[in-house]
A and B are shown apart, each in its own frame.
Chain A
Amino acid sequence: MATSIDYPLPKPAPSPAEFSFSQALWKWVATVDAKRLGIMYTGTAFVFMLIGGCLAMVIRAQLMFPNSDVVGPDTYNRLFTMHGTTMIFFLAMPVISGLSNFLVPLMIGARDMVFPRLNAFGYWMFLCGGCLLYFSYIGGGGLGGAGSAPDAGWFAYAPLTELAYSRGPSSDYWALAIILGGFGSLATSINVIATCICARCPGMTLARMPMFVWTMLTTAWLIILAIPALTAAQFMLLLDRYLGANFFNTQNGGSAVLWQHFFWIFGHPEVYIVIFPAFATLSEVIPVFSRKPLFGKPAMVGAIVAIGFISLGVWAHHMFAVGLTPWSNTFFVASSMIIAVPTGVKIFNWTATMWGGKVRYSTAMLFCLAFLLQFLVAGLTGIMLAVAPFDWQLTDSYFVVAHFHYTLIGGTVFGVFAATYYWYPKAVGKMMSETLGKWHFWLMVIGFNLTFMPQHYLGIIGMPRRIYTYSPGRGWDLWNFWSSIGAYIQGIAVLLFVINIIKSGINGRPAGDDPWDAWTLEWSTTSPPPEYNFEKIPVVRSGRPLWDLKHPQDPDWKYE
């Protein structure tokens, strides 16, 4: 076509089938689209989950029998350090970014996050951090020498990380990888906050924001408040190691307790940060599959914000055994107990949402049910740990291991599974297999509880955490054996999940726009949504805009 214009015309977009592999790859690598970044975050997180899970399998193989030597002590210490670091910083944190990026703009009727380039920057920094962490296995004299993967535990208590006790670069890998990983979380948080403030569609008042968005907004604030404490501590550690500072160097008057304060000022908000995406998911999935609005949404918003605030003041319940004064211990008992109240409110409200509804047993809903029961266990063992005198017996024992796996797997991971079954159709445009999903669910429930329920008892009969082996005859053998069996059942369950994701992506049933008959805005656009999310920016009049559309005689806005 001959024209007089001498600059190139924009080429017509090729249809997906015309993309070559390198073009498709480029489209992902160069993207600043929040939805693509969300899928990338979540996908990367799942890859790290598989890696961290493999480490856990080796840990359980080592502990299956007493005095076993599947791995040696140094290898074992690296395994649990890498497992914890991976699961917290490279599974739980990116999943938050993944869910927020994909869903927050869609749910509030925005076209994208407000800082898309920052968003992409955050993802690539996070990915860099994850790769750096695992590069430690081969870098820095890793394979040839004694190995340089971090081995000081995921909370890396100083002075174990100081030069005198951690020669070689293992602690540097740990600190730098997590600092980099933190960029992803911070970039997402800034984006979520700015997007929620600036980019809501007409009519989407704060009160009408879906509970999911409220929860992610609280999470974002918490991340911004908590991560700097960790980053500061890690820079101080690096200063100690390279410039002769003595913040935590106890051999030169530094303070080991200071590190603990820094770490847990980050670390306790962190455990709420990582459970919040599950809270967010439940607040959407339970109403839709109960066919009722979320019960007491204002109370739910109040509760999540209250948890956020109080969680900034409970950190020293990780430190009851440190020898703080009776008064400070009592203060942290009180604050840790009080945080149970808004957490309880959330569980009650989810239950009340099902009450009087018509509960549909989809896989997503089953995961929510399991979440409720398992998180209830985790909350109650949390109460036990908050009772400082009881905690003196339980802390650093397998009871604690059981407790936080009930929150992190029984809570967070089950919540993420529910989220995947629920939003996968939106992200991919195809339904996941419910049959495989049910298998996944039941194996996961059985495997998970078999793994971690016995560990409560192991802690009570004196088994400390982080020991690479134990003698027979201390009453621990049988429980460890069953715990390991449970772990392998979980392993199979997760494999089924991965198979389901891949298989459904290839030949799943087409999802359509709104497969669950849901009420929030993401279901009003196509599956997968176009890059610009909505053809026309929606205008909403209530917290459930799609309910209003589907029930014009009985819309929600009449009751607001």
Chain B
Amino acid sequence: MAVPGSHANRIADTFNPVATPAHMEKGIAILTIAICGVIFVIVAGLIVYAFVHYRVKRDEREFEEPPQIYGSNQIELAWTVIPILIVFVLIGVSARVIRAIQAHQPAPHSDPVYATVVGHQWWWEVHYPNLGITTANEIHVPVSHDGRHATFFTLESADVDHSFWVPQLSGKTDVIPNRNNFVWMDPSKAGVYIGQCAEYCGTQHAHMGLRVVAQPLPEFRKWAAAEAKPAVEDPSVAKDKAVFDSLACINCHTVRGTIAQGTFGPDLTHLMSRQTLGAGVLSNTPQHLRDWVNDPQKYKVGCKMPDMHLDDQQLTEVVAYLETLK
């Protein structure tokens, strides 16, 4: 099974950034690597040279000791002062970039998007408080060329520490219970960017996938409008809906506009608009949806959604209903 979901840029390369924070981080990374690279070549060269050039020669192996040199204050001073100068450059540059990323505010007269991401064991809950949207594991953001439509996130945790990381967009920001953290991004190119939880958070830390869907502004607005609506009422699945509503599913999941109002698991109101199931474990196809509902533990051992032991009939009905949640 390859990376689930279509169109995703599968290589989450920090050196292929598409948003300002990741760009700045790449810039300072290249400066640092260049400086360290030069230091490595010089110092490693000296070490190897000393080791090889001053090896004991066969004819002088015995008795004769080399001149005993105890040290030199001038040399000590030189190799103390030069590194100090180098690290001060790096400290200065770091200070500037830290402020530029951490203290960044929405530009005046801009039209930012605000979102709240809540880390759960082992999925991401996503709210857009101003747009009335709740979704999971896939974050839609507008493309923002001039910083006018940047997205600002508040990060919260429902349980343990997690870390929010989409390498091509922004470095990590930890997601910590009882604490609000902030991160922002302004993708300059439409696309799907893969990320995942980067702070060990328990059994299924490996499968706490995250994807950011960067869309041109009109598309984003269209998506937001559709997503803000309550669930589609499809009369052809009324019977299936009744089955769903009668099962324990509704204790954990919300389908807006119905009696399903649970908040422990992901909001299913527009489930079929998402690319993956189980925070990136399976791509969202009808067959996978059926497999997942049948036994989530088979695909994500230890996840908090239990095998509900639905019989075939119930499974078919529940999945038929879920498939209408476009």
Contacts and interface: CB of A to CB of B under 8 A. Distances in A.
A359 B161 contact: no
Contacts of A355: 50, 54
Contacts of B195: 462
Interface string A282-295: 00000000111101
Contacts of B32: 383-384, 387, 390
A387 B28 CA distance: 8
Given A344-B79, A376-B40, A321 B87 contact: no
A396 B55 contact: no
A323 B173 contact: yes
Interface stretch (B137-145, B199-207, B214-222, B239-247): B199-207
B177 interface: yes
A157 B202 CA distance: 11
Interface stretch (B12-20, B107-115, B184-192): B12-20
Contacts of A255: 178
Contacts of B12: 461-462, 474
B22 interface: yes
Given A297-B70, A322-B174, A474-B12, A345 B165 contact: no
Given A160-B161, A250-B178, A384 B36 contact: yes
Contacts of A390: 25, 28-29, 32
A73 B176 contact: no
B98 A74 contact: no
A530 interface: no
Contacts of B101: 389, 392
Interface in A397-427: 397
A8 interface: no
Nearest to B79: A348
Given A355-B50, A369-B51, A474 B10 contact: yes
B176 A359 contact: no
Contacts of A70: none
Interface in B223-253: none
A73 B75 contact: no
Contact of A372 (B13, B47, B76, B163): B47
Contacts of A465: 198, 200
Contact of B160 (A160, A395, A472, A559): A160
B14 A376 contact: no
B312 interface: no
Interface string A469-510: 111111100000000000000000000000000000000000
Interface stretch (B61-69, B126-134, B286-294): B61-69
Interface stretch (A29-37, A45-53, A264-272, A331-339): A331-339
B167 interface: yes
Given A338-B87, A351-B46, A462-B167, A159 B177 contact: yes
Contact of B43 (A256, A299, A347): A347
Interface residues on A, range: 35 or more
Nearest to B56: A358
B94 A461 contact: no
B224 to A, nearest CB: 27
Contacts of B40: 376-377, 380
A326 interface: yes
A467 to B, nearest CB: 4
A461 B11 contact: yes
B113 to A, nearest CB: 20
A393 B172 contact: yes
Interface residues of B, number: 94
Nearest to A397: B198
Contacts of B197: 464
B80 A341 contact: yes
Interface string A154-176: 00010110001100000000000
B13 A165 contact: no
Contact of A395 (B13, B35, B172): B172
Nearest to B121: A165
B118 to A, nearest CB: 14
Contact of B54 (A296, A359, A470): A359
A345 B76 contact: yes
Interface centre among A153, A160, A347 (most CB of B within 10 A): A160
Given A256-B178, A383-B36, A384-B33, A326 B103 contact: yes
Contacts of A462: 11-14, 165, 167, 194-195
Contacts of A242: none
Interface centre among A462, A465, A469 (most CB of B within 10 A): A462
A257 interface: yes
Nearest to A341: B83
List of 4 A-B pairs having minimum Cβ-Cβ separation, nearest first:
A392-B171, A462-B12, A296-B71, A467-B206
Interface of A: 67, 72-74, 77, 152-153, 157, 159-160, 164-165, 250-251, 253-257, 290-293, 295-299, 321-323, 325-326, 329-330, 333-334, 337-338, 340-341, 344-345, 347-349, 351-352, 354-361, 369, 372-373, 376-377, 380-381, 383-384, 386-397, 460-462, 464-475, 551, 554, 556, 559
Given A355-B50, A358-B64, 8 more contacts: A256-B176, A293-B69, A321-B163, A351-B50, A358-B60, A384-B36, A389-B28, A464-B197
26 contacts: A165-B121, A257-B179, A292-B66, A296-B76, A321-B174, A321-B198, A322-B174, A323-B179, A334-B91, A337-B87, A352-B71, A357-B54, A358-B65, A376-B47, A383-B36, A387-B28, A387-B32, A387-B93, A388-B97, A389-B98, A390-B25, A391-B171, A396-B200, A461-B13, A464-B165, A475-B13
